[in-house]
């Protein structure tokens, strides 16, 4: 078993699940999961967790994400991006920087957003995109989210280059359509790239060909705890580590103060990552996620 996290630079034209399965097979992993779905048209950071590293997905999947995208004005597609069919066209008004900035200001901060029909969200066990392909539209509940930053990078007569940092669950295709509507026209995405996913901001990605070529040697894999630096850590002596691995509360070598909740990451001798624990009121560590060392 080879566990770890791969920061894949997903290529255009491949689904997130397609990329996941190719990586999983190449690395010989039994289990795998990715953090945040990217549309086939989109490129950029797709963190893939293999085997034991899948146990940390729940701790990091709610993090913020950052995107760079091109919004082409004057035409709306059924999917909201360049992979769809044009369903509406409108003239594009003359736009200057001041007009664009005024429109973008309306989309910064907390807001609600209705997910698109072309999405992997499910209704009665069926992905919405399957219904959309049959021409069926169903009501979708609005989601609460936050656009933490939205920057104008460049613009021309019929396109706008933007960069965005947002919370989990934001559909950039919908954001693009809403911005176009606020500008008095319609639009769709013709480029979408995810720059980073928390907590991997600023970290290097690896392209798919390089990842597949290095799989036999286990190249490019980060350890599972590389995603947990935001949590306080606790150290256990050997005997307490044995107790912890049996699923029983254990006492840390030194008292530990949790950060952002009661979860902490736990290490045994030689910095072996044992898993995640909750700090009990008496200071002991209650195991919540136990990780097996590679090879077990």
What tens-digit pLDDT sequence spans the chain (296 residues)? 579 999 999 999 999 999 999 999 999 999 999 999 999 999 999 999 999 999 999 888 889 999 999 999 999 999 999 999 999 999 999 999 999 999 999 999 999 999 888 887 888 788 888 888 888 888 888 999 999 999 999 999 999 999 999 999 999 999 999 999 999 999 999 999 999 999 999 999 999 999 999 999 999 999 999 999 989 999 999 999 999 999 999 999 998 988 767 899 999 999 999 999 999 999 999 999 999 875 45
> In sequence order, which ranges of the chain are alpha helices (DSSP H)?
16-27, 57-60, 97-105, 128-133, 172-182, 208-213, 238-245
β-strand pairing of 206-207 with 4-10: parallel
Residues 259 and 295: their CA atoms lie apart, in Å, by 31
In contact, 64 and 198? CB cutoff 8 Å: yes
Catalytic residue among 39, 51, 81, 225: 39
**Residue 190 CB coordination number (10 Å):** 16
Q: Respond yes or no: is residue 96 known to be catalytic.
A: no
In contact, 180 and 73? CB cutoff 8 Å: yes
Q: Would you state the structure tokens that stand for residue 239, as one six-digit string?
A: 């005997």
């Amino acid at each position: 078993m080879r566990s770890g996290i791969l920061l894949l630079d997903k290529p255009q034209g491949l689904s997130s699940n397609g990329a996941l399965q190719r990586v999983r097979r190449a690395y010989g992993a039994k289990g795998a999961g990715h953090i945040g779905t990217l549309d086939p048209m989109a490129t950029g950071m797709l963190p893939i967790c293999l085997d034991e590293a899948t146990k940390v997905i729940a701790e990091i999947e709610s993090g913020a994400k950052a995107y760079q995208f091109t919004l082409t004005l004057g035409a709306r597609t059924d999917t909201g991006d360049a992979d769809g069919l044009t369903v509406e066209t409108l003239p594009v008004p003359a736009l200057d920087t001041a007009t664009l900035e005024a429109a973008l200001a309306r989309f910064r901060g907390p807001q609600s957003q209705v997910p698109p029909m072309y999405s992997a969200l499910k209704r009665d066990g069926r992905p919405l995109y399957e219904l959309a392909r049959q021409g069926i539209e169903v009501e979708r509940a609005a989601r609460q989210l936050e656009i933490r930053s939205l920057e104008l990078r460049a613009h021309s007569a019929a396109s706008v280059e933007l960069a965005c940092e947002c919370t989990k669950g934001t559909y950039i295709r919908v954001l693009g359509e809403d911005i176009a509507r606020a500008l008095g026209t319609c639009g769709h995405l013709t480029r979408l790239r995810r720059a980073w996913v928390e907590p991997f901001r600023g970290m290097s990605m690896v392209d798919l060909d390089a990842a597949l070529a290095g799989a036999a040697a286990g190249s490019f894999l980060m350890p599972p705890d590389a995603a947990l630096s935001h949590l306080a850590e606790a150290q256990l002596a050997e005997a307490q580590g044995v107790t912890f691995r049996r699923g029983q509360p254990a006492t840390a070598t030194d008292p530990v103060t949790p950060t952002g909740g009661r979860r902490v990451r736990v290490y045994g001798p030689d910095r072996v990552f044992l898993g995640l624990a909750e700090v009990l009121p008496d200071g002991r560590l209650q195991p919540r996620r136990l990780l097996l060392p590679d090879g077990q």
